Structure 1
Amino acid sequence: MSTDQHAVVSPLTLPSLPYPDNALAPVISANTLGFHYGKHHRGYVDNLNKLVAGTDFADLPLPKIISETAGKPDKATIFNNAAQIWNHTFYWNSLRAAGGGQPPALLKEKIEASFGTLDACKKELAAAAMAQFGSGWAWLVLDGDKIKVVKTANAEVPMTAGQKPLLTIDVWEHAYYLDYQNRRLDYVQAVLDKLINWDFAAENLG
């Protein structure tokens, strides 16, 4: 890459929300989305652009930054901001207005093969969300040929463990505290029943 080409590489930008900020109400209010997306998610993008400016990471796509910094203590700040940009973008797409319900047939079949029933899968997701001590994420992932539920702390991502994310639920307090205060379970159950985007998970299943 020439110096001129290097100079015109755009910084990472904040991806647009896939819906208006009031689309998930009343489960997740426009007020929560305004802070969560407009302050937290935007803050990670702004921080990462400052951290990578003038470094070898400046030209890399987000997944590459994540993979290149994962597990490296001296790159933890870059990893945390990069992974949180990715996690939040994935989370917004894991939700939709009038979500919940039944997954597409192929995904439902795969879920039933792994968990027995869809309800058992949802219960395991809720349990993982509740069991995550402090900040983190509950995930539905493809691990080999089996669908599993896993949880990660802080900014960690399933990809670093060789797992393919299908959907996620954010259980950092800022995801729900304005609407639910300390009632994390109420938030998680409402998301699973009314907002979870099974179509997105089916697309990721491939």
Structure 2
Amino acid sequence: MSNDILNRETPQVLPFLPYAENALEPVISAKTIGFHYGKHHKGYVDSLKKLVAETRYADMSLEKIISETEGKSDKTAIFNNAAQAWNHAFYWQSLRPKGGGGPASALQKKIEVSFGSLDACKKELLTAAGAQFGSGWVWLVLDSDMLKVVKTANAEVPMTMSMKPLLTIDVWEHAYYLDYQNRRADYVTAVLDSLINWDFAAENLGC
């Protein structure tokens, strides 16, 4: 699922998980995926569907809803649920069985220009994950012509800061607590080593 397809998702759609619930084991258990996708992600979609029913948002893409409601105090619930539905759909695509390794050459070169090396990029992602106080997300983004690592709290998304997301790691506790308890760094390290989907990041970068 490319970023373009994600942008066309409507509030009524819970996108299919792109792999079996046990496909990310042993890094992320089927039990965690079952709760995370089947309860949390589905919950955001279901709540959003109710919030936008019979409103002008009902047929908008998730990204359009996010841009239309961001920063509006009377639309906070719609924004939060739309952004979380989008974030989760993007997160599932940021992972893949037998992931990790290194990116394709064009993305590798971009990473080296922006961070110095792939290891330095991964270290920044890990550091940002540890520095995120409470719930949130860690992102690899394109900002102007450079790649950056940013973190966002709760449901916030890089698009509202004019940055293009390339991949993300969910650092809400429900993403890892059943498997890692309070060891967030172990979860993020394992994702970067074994599951991160560099092909998805390259596709979003356009290379």
Task: State the one-letter code of the partner of 2:112.
Answer: E
Structure 1 segments unaligned to the other structure (5+ residues): 1-9
* Greater than 4 Å deviation, 4+ residue runs: none
Answer yes or no: is the 8 Å Cα contact 2:41–2:88 preserved in 1: yes
Question: 2:88 aligns to what SS in structure 1?
Answer: helix
Structure whose alpha-carbon radius of gyration is higher: 1
Please give the TM-score of this superposition, normalised by the length of structure 1.
0.94
1:15 aligns with 2:21: no
- Relative distance call for 1:139 and 1:11 in structure 2 (3 A) is closer
| Equivalent AA in structure 1 for residue 199 of structure 2 | D
Q: What pairs up with 1:7-156 in 2 under 5 angstroms?
A: 12-156=12-156
String of CA shifts for 1:124-183, please: whole Å, max 9, x gaps: 000011100000000000000000000000000000000000000000000000000000
CA contact (8 A) 2:11 2:62 kept: no
Q: For residues 26 and 175 of structure 1, what CA distance do their matches in structure 2 show?
A: 14
- CA deviation profile, 1:87-117 (whole Å, cap 9, x unmatched): 0000000000000001000000000000001
TM-score (norm 2): 0.94
Secondary structure, aligned partner of 2:155: coil
Distance 2:116 2:110 in 1: 9
**How far is the alpha carbon of 1:11 from its aligned partner?**
5.7
RMSD over aligned CA atoms reads 0.8
1:61 shift after superposition: 1.2
**Alpha-carbon separation, structure 2, partners of 1:132 and 1:73:** 24
The DSSP-based 3-state class of the residue aligned with 1:88 is helix
1:62-103 deviation per Cα after TM superposition (whole angstroms, max 9, x unaligned) = 111011001111101000000000000000000000000010
Is the contact made by 2:99 and 2:197 (CA closer than 8 Å) also made in structure 1? yes
What is the distance in 1 between the residues matched to 2:70 and 2:59?
17
Structure 2, unmatched stretches of 5+, are 1-9
Task: Give how far 1:193 is off.
Answer: 0.4
Q: How many residues align?
A: 197
- When residues 11 and 196 of structure 1 are mapped into structure 2, their CA distance, relative to the original with a 3 A threshold, is closer
Aligned-pair distance for 1:34?
0.1
In the alignment, the residues of structure 1 paired with residue 59 and residue 103 of structure 2 have an alpha-carbon distance, to the nearest angstrom, of: 37
Q: Does residue 174 of structure 2 align to residue 174 of structure 1?
A: yes
8 Å contact 2:11–2:82 — kept in the other structure? no
Over the matched positions of the two proteins, sequence identity in percent amounts to 76
Query: SS of 2:23's equivalent?
Result: coil
- In the aligned structure 2, how far is the partner of 1:11 from the partner of 1:173? 24
CA distance in 1, matches of 2:73, 2:32: 32
